[in-house]
Structure 1
């Protein structure tokens, strides 16, 4: 598992997927979230604008990242 440092209070889930280069663009990020391919804290989450905060873990395919503040 890798870590990613955010500068603010949170980052939106689709923005995180783009920043990590797990997807090519915003449309793809929205599609993978809508399809239920992304997990947030070990649960599938369909909210594209989900506010991911330090301590949270996001999974996509075989990749995991934990956010730190």
Structure 2
């Protein structure tokens, strides 16, 4: 499992996808979420604006990513 540290109280799913280099922009994130199953804490999520907080686990294209606070 990979970890991503955040410096604020949350990061959006779209921002995370950009940080992980799955997409280049918010529009690409929106399309990515319609084509691929992305799970947040085990549930499929389609909203790029979904707020992720420390402790959340995101599964995308076979990768598991845990959000951690700095």
| Bin of the TM-score, shorter chain as denominator length | 0.7 to 0.9
- The aligned residue for residue 33 of structure 1 is 33
Structure 1 unmatched runs, 5+: none
TM alignment of 1:12-27, pairs within 5 A: 12-27=12-27
Give the deviation of 1:28 after TM superposition.
2.0
* Superimposed CA distance per residue, residues 13-62 of structure 1 (whole angstroms, 9 cap, x where no aligned partner): 00110011122332221112234521101110112200000000011111
Q: 4+ residue stretches of structure 1 with deviation over 4 A?
A: none
- The aligned residue for residue 57 of structure 1 is 57
TM, length-normalised to structure 1: 0.87
